[in-house]
Amino acid sequence: MAFTQVSTSTAGARQRDRHENCTPPDIWAVFRALRDARCVFGLKPGHIQTLQALISFLRPGQGDTVFASNFEICRRVGGIDERTLRRHIDRFIDLGMIERHDSPNRKRYRVSSRDGRVVSFGLSLSPLLKRAGDFLDAAAELEETRRDQVFLRKQILVGLAHIDTIEPGSAVSENARRMMRRKLAVDEYRCLLDQVTNHLGQMSTVVDVKITTKLPANDGQTVRHLSKSEKEKKESERVESDLLPSVPTLTAICREATAFAPAGLRTWDDIERHAQNLAPMMGIQPGTFNEASKRVGSRRTATAIFILLQLGTRVRNYAAYFHSITLGKRADSFRPSAILATLSVSTSVPV
């Protein structure tokens, strides 16, 4: 039977050890990279388990050749049959990750002479180590792709939550959620995000059309209408002011929102501008923010943004909760002062 023999010659035993001990300390990092990127190289979980067992037989100072018998390897893998082991090893050999150096009797061992020459027969993992860069690059690329998928998926879910609060049972929402039951590619997620974003834009246009008021028939009605509207606006602002905290109290309690401010927040105009900048970062569409400002007042809307950000992870969906307390069923029962009083306990700020 034909066999391949690998020999290594050095000037002495110490030089032999330095040459033979070529197993790098990060061989397990190489293994983990290949494990994570196994689909790129056409490997299955069983192949990875076999490779893990092979690496576990390597010992410091003994090089990168595995001398264990098939029986011992099968035991360490978990009791697989020898036929499966041979199939796995052949797969690694075909991929250029392992080299088989057979002895005449198919035994695996290493012999050395007193002048430092070494002959090794076994399963060499040297090709695996030489291709470490390929595995590490593939694993890094897969991780970047995974992060992009997670980011796009979160953006889509935020948009869908906004659609569901305004248009329950939307066909766009149902179709998108049906598609996301399976794992999508990055391009598929981007296409789906475009669909959701476009639908949100159309919904904002519809809302703007609905709030357009009809002009009265004559100038007299116009004057009376404007006078009445001005009185209602002043009354609304007075009531709103009674229910809201002072600017110093709001900024002292809602430290999360204050931390993002590029400059000091001293007036309600500062608060409102900062809240308008924070809203998109929280997944709240500009159209929804503007509609809320018209419905419940700009100060109350800004206060809601500050409170939501301070609540943090206690709110699962910022966009849905914001819509609920400003435009939805909970708008009338939303009391900023009560929530701020509760938050002030954890922040040790008197209201």
Residue 178 pLDDT greater than 80, yes or no: yes
| C-alpha closest to that of 165 among 331, 322, 332, 333 | 322
**Secondary structure class of 64 (helix, strand, coil):** coil
> Is the per-residue pLDDT at 346 higher than 70?
no
Q: Is the pLDDT of residue 261 over 80?
A: yes
Helices of type H across 211-267: 219-243, 247-253, 255-259
Q: Is 208 helix (H, G, I), strand (E, B) or coil?
A: helix
More confident residue, 221 or 33: 33
SS3 330: coil
The model's pTM: 0.49
pLDDT at 203: 66
pLDDT value of residue 6? 44
Complete domains list, the chain, with CATH: 6-130 (1.10.10.10), 140-210 (no CATH), 242-347 (no CATH)
Tell me which amino acid residue 58 is. L
- Highest average pLDDT, of 94-103, 106-115, 218-227, comes from 94-103
**Res 150: pLDDT:** 92
Q: How many CB atoms lie within 10 A of CB 29?
A: 14
Structure tokens at 329: 């069923």
Residue 183 pLDDT greater than 60, yes or no: yes
- Residue % of the chain over a pLDDT of 90: 48
The yes-or-no verdict on residue 236 having pLDDT over 60 is no
Helix then strand then coil, % of the chain, to nearest 5: 65, 5, 30
Question: Would you say residue 227 has pLDDT above 70?
Answer: no
With residue 18 as reference, give the H or E element that holds it. Answer: helix 13-20
Tell me what the pLDDT averaged over the chain comes to: 80
